Amino acid sequence: MSSSSSTRVSQLGAAGLLAALLAAVCLLHAGGAAAAELCVDYYDCTCPDAYKIVQGVLMEAHQSDPRIFASLIRLHFHDCFVQGCDGSLLLDTFDGMESEKDARPNNGSARGFEVVDAAKAALEDACPGVVSCADILAIAAEISVELVRTTCASYCSLVS
């Protein structure tokens, strides 16, 4: 084997090693992102009553608006539909920059913002700066599903 071919082989080996290392780093980084999710007991230590607080706000809102559970589920869907569940649908228009909330497809059709705001205010009183608005919307949607199921079960037994 000539020195130029052995140099070429070692360059290819180094390039292959670099490519394998780069692929491993990418896979490890992607794995960490995939594991980032809201788990059921996430706020147990930092805001133990978060779930109960949001549930209380939702129950109160349901007294004056029986459709609020469906509205919050829909709001969560629309927040998650475009580039993930980040709470961006909750932002207000600022300094001439139109928000998702006020954008034409959502303006007048998305409802429940005031309930999320009320839940945020109640949570800020209990544990300031702990629960994000995106998580509040996710928790509110989860509780809404549970409460709709409970309400429907009670109603459906009366009808049948």
Distance of CA 31 to the CA centre of its chain: 18
Phi, psi of 106 (to 5 degrees): -100, -20
How far, in Å, CA of 69 to CA of 89, rounded? 17
Of the candidates 107, 113, 100, the one whose C-alpha atom is nearest the C-alpha of residue 71 is 113
How is residue 14 written in tokens?
């180094």
- Answer yes or no: is 79 a known binding residue: yes
Q: What is the residue whose two structure tokens read 């927040």?
A: 79
Given the residues 29, 62, 76, 78, select the one marked as catalytic. 78
How is residue 74 written in tokens?
């829909």
How far, in Å, CA of 32 to CA of 35, rounded? 5
How far, in Å, CA of 50 to CA of 130, rounded? 10
- Answer yes or no: is 115 a known binding residue: no
Q: Is 78 one of the catalytic residues?
A: yes
- Answer yes or no: is 88 a known binding residue: yes
How far, in Å, CA of 73 to CA of 19, rounded? 44
Q: Residues annotated as binding site for Ca(2+)?
A: 79, 82, 84, 86, 88, 100
Supply the residues annotated as catalytic. 78
Q: Residues annotated as binding site?
A: 79, 82, 84, 86, 88, 100
